[in-house]
């Protein structure tokens, strides 16, 4: 038996896939909501039962991809200094965005003040990422790499802020993808970590 919930979930998935395919093919702006609805096999109005507005589709799409990147990043986390672990994680996110920078730009634009239903998912994801990073900080403290009196969550926030700034600089075409990761983000994080060494 196919439950209501399952049907809804199926439609949500179809809309997500249709949106992602079209955004990739034609970009965010040029894609119309009616095209997406048609491709997903639903009526034009139905789309708005699954996303509050067009922008909310971006959260639907990126939530899935970014969750995967978090999982993958944590799974393949290297041993070694905190700086390298952070870069490893963030590099994974950059790869997600690099699949479609145009669409990523639209997504990042919507991040400040995001409050649609799907945006909530992304916010929760960010929170959980911060918690994980905070955990990495604590591990670095445990192995004596980092001063024990650094508030882990605060450092996690700062690291995230620097990551977000580098991301914005890249998407704003102020640097290349590689440049954003390597000179920019690496040196930013290094400067933040400088002087926080253990003992």
31 binds, among DNA, its own copies, none (CB under 5 to 8 A by kind): DNA
Q: Is 32 in the site for DNA (CB under 7 A)?
A: yes
Site string for its own copies, 138-167 (x = CB under 8 A): ------------xx--xx-xx-xxx-xx--
Q: Is 46 in the site for DNA (CB under 7 A)?
A: yes
d(CA 125, CA 60): 12
Q: Is 42 in the site for DNA (CB under 7 A)?
A: yes
Q: Is 37 in the site for its own copies (CB under 8 A)?
A: no
Q: Is 78 in the site for its own copies (CB under 8 A)?
A: no
Q: How many residues bind its own copies (CB under 8 A)?
A: 31
196 binds, among DNA, its own copies, none (CB under 5 to 8 A by kind): its own copies
Q: Which is nearer to its own copies, 18 or 137 (CB)?
A: 137
Cβ atoms < 10 Å from Cβ of 180: 23
Give min distance, CB of 72 to its own copies, in A: 25
112 binds, among its own copies, DNA, none (CB under 5 to 8 A by kind): its own copies
Q: Is 53 in the site for DNA (CB under 7 A)?
A: yes
Do the Cβ atoms of 15 and 42 come closer than 8 Å?
yes
Q: Is 17 in the site for DNA (CB under 7 A)?
A: no
């Amino acid at each position: 038996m196919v439950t209501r919930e399952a049907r809804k979930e199926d439609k949500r998935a179809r809309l997500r896939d249709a949106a992602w395919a079209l955004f990739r093919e034609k970009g965010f702006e040029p894609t119309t909501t009616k095209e997406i609805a048609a491709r997903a096999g639903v009526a034009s109005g139905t789309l708005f039962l699954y996303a509050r507005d067009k922008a909310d589709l971006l959260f639907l799409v990126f939530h899935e991809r970014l969750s995967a990147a978090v999982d993958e990043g944590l799974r393949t986390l290297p041993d070694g200094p905190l700086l390298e672990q952070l870069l490893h994680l963030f590099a994974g996110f950059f790869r997600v965005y690099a699949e479609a920078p145009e669409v990523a730009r639209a997504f990042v634009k919507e991040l400040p003040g995001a409050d649609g239903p799907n945006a909530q998912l992304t916010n929760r994801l960010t929170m959980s990422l911060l918690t994980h990073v905070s955990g990495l900080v604590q591990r670095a403290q445990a192995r004596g790499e980092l001063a024990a009196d650094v508030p882990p969550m605060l450092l996690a926030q700062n690291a995230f802020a620097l990551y977000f700034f580098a991301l914005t600089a890249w998407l704003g075409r102020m640097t290349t993808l590689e440049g954003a990761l390597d000179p920019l983000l690496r040196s930013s994080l290094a400067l933040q970590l400088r002087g926080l060494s253990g003992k």
